[in-house]
Structure 1
Amino acid sequence: MMTATRANVASSFTVIKGALIEETYAVFSAWDFDRSKRDNLAHLREVNYIGASSTTWLRDVAKVLNRRFDPEGRDRPLVILAKRGLELETWKPLLLWHMTRDEFLVRDFLESWLFDAFDSGVFRVRTENVEDYLGDVRRRGGITEHAWAEQTTKRVAAGLLKIAVDFGMLRGPVAKEF
């Protein structure tokens, strides 16, 4: 079943929750194609086979996976590779590609900001640098479901940088470096 595209939705929720690389891999490794997406995610919430530290975090992981992926459709190859045990480090770039199709903020941040910063010789980036970029999201085609508070903008900026770190594009705890 094909889900509606969210390719232009600028979701603060999914970015703030992060890349969820290990969690996504674990869920997809255990995916049962004989069950629906809803049933697979319900099973995750019932059993907690990813070892989430709280029911709230478990719920949030399931919600992000529900929004980000279509395991029964176009993301099926990604699930199959996880089920077959493809090494996580080899699987990660494929995950990023799948994420960026429907994750506007991640895709746009990488295309419109991060790689431009790298190409122009920027060495170190901070959350404040990304906050300015986020002010123009709508102009670049992003659809926000509601206006973001200042704190949300800060959390989204930090989330985008953390995702870049998780995928190996940046490094560092506070000031991120290429």
Structure 2
Amino acid sequence: MTDTIVAEIDEPIYTSRIIKASALIADTRLLLSEWNLEKPVEENLARVQRQNIFGKASRRRVEDKLRIFRQRYFDDPEIGQTLVKLFQENAPSQWLDPLLYFFSAQNDRTLRDLVIEAIYPRQLSGYRDLQTDFLKRTIRQWISEGKTTTDWSEATVTRVARNAQATLRDFGVLQGKANKYIAPIYLPTPAFALIAHWLQGKLHSGNMVLHSEDWQLFFLPVDGVERFFIEAHQEHLLSYYAAGSVIRLEFSQETLPDYAQFLLERYQS
């Protein structure tokens, strides 16, 4: 996978962490609302745990949640700062939710690759239904290839598949309760631009950003990504230049939090 940002990891690469780590959107919003950007990550996490802002959750569950939040959003300080800034400065929820989904998927290879390797091809083939057994087949293939942390039992395979479905439903990738269906994902142009900025910082190549398979998390083929870039360019959110295979991307701000501030000011003015 040459166009992915997920860190290269010696096999096995797939874990069952999704069993404990659902979308947690409401709790994430609560955490972002309580975050103090003037304080370091450790101090914020310690205060949140001490104050038990998550209500009746047990101490063990609070520790699990905070570990998940740190891994998803705060191991890279710029991601956490950007999300806090967007939430506390009242960015539309339509901006924030796709970012929570994208960075959660970046942190969990199992969730990410279930979308890219199983759900996206199914969507391309014109199917909308997504049964648990369909995802289980992909997971069993990973097990047979030695790509999971252990030789998962059938019960673990089922739990991983079902929790992935529930998480993707909460993020808006799927719809339905008992029966799940692939949903059209709404990706606002500012959220697209923020993801593009992050990808550019990792890949340092406009062509690689354009062709990154991570856009498939939003069911976007390359021509769909290019349409987004053209729209963002026309809205003066970024500069996009294409000449054959040469793609140049330019952003007005160097860091992701500063770019988020630029977008907020543009849309709130």
- Report the more deviating stretch, 23-32 or 145-154: 145-154
Give the counterpart letter for 2:180 in structure 1.
K
8 A contact 2:32–2:87 mirrored in 1: yes
Q: Which residue of 1 aligns with 2:34?
A: 30
Is 2:149 aligned against 1:171? Answer: no
Alignment match of 2:137 (pick from 132, 135, 145): 132
Is 2:96 aligned against 1:91? Answer: yes
Partner SS, residue 77 of structure 2: coil
Structure (1 or 2) with the larger CA radius of gyration: 2
Is 2:15 aligned against 1:11? Answer: yes
Q: Please report the TM-score for the alignment, with normalisation by the length of structure 1.
A: 0.81
Render the CA deviation track for 1:16-68: whole Å, top value 9, x for unaligned: 42111121121122112333322222222211213253333222211211222
8 A contact 1:170–1:176 mirrored in 2: yes
- Report the more deviating stretch, 43-52 or 127-136: 43-52
Is 2:11 aligned against 1:43? Answer: no
8 A contact 1:29–1:79 mirrored in 2: yes
**Structure-to-structure mapping, 1:35-114, within 5 angstroms:** 35-70=39-74, 73-75=77-79, 76-114=81-119
Change in 2 beyond 3 A, CA 1:72/1:117 = closer
Q: CA deviation at 1:100?
A: 2.4
Q: CA deviation at 1:159?
A: 1.3
Give the counterpart letter for 2:62 in structure 1.
L
Give the Cα separation in 2 of the matches to 1:50 and 1:145.
31
Change in 2 beyond 3 A, CA 1:139/1:98 = farther
Q: Please report the TM-score for the alignment, with normalisation by the length of structure 2.
A: 0.56
Unaligned runs of 5+ in 1: none
Change in 2 beyond 3 A, CA 1:7/1:90 = farther
8 A contact 2:15–2:148 mirrored in 1: yes
Between the aligned residues of both structures, percent identity stands at: 23
Partner SS, residue 54 of structure 2: coil
| Aligned Cα root-mean-square deviation (Å) | 2.6
Give the Cα separation in 1 of the matches to 2:82 and 2:157.
34
8 A contact 1:29–1:82 mirrored in 2: yes
Partner SS, residue 17 of structure 1: coil
Partner SS, residue 153 of structure 1: helix
Q: CA deviation at 1:166?
A: 0.9
8 A contact 1:15–1:156 mirrored in 2: yes
8 A contact 2:106–2:112 mirrored in 1: yes
Q: Which residue of 2 aligns with 1:122?
A: 127
Give the counterpart letter for 2:158 in structure 1.
K
Give the Cα separation in 1 of the matches to 2:62 and 2:144.
34
- Report the more deviating stretch, 131-140 or 24-33: 131-140
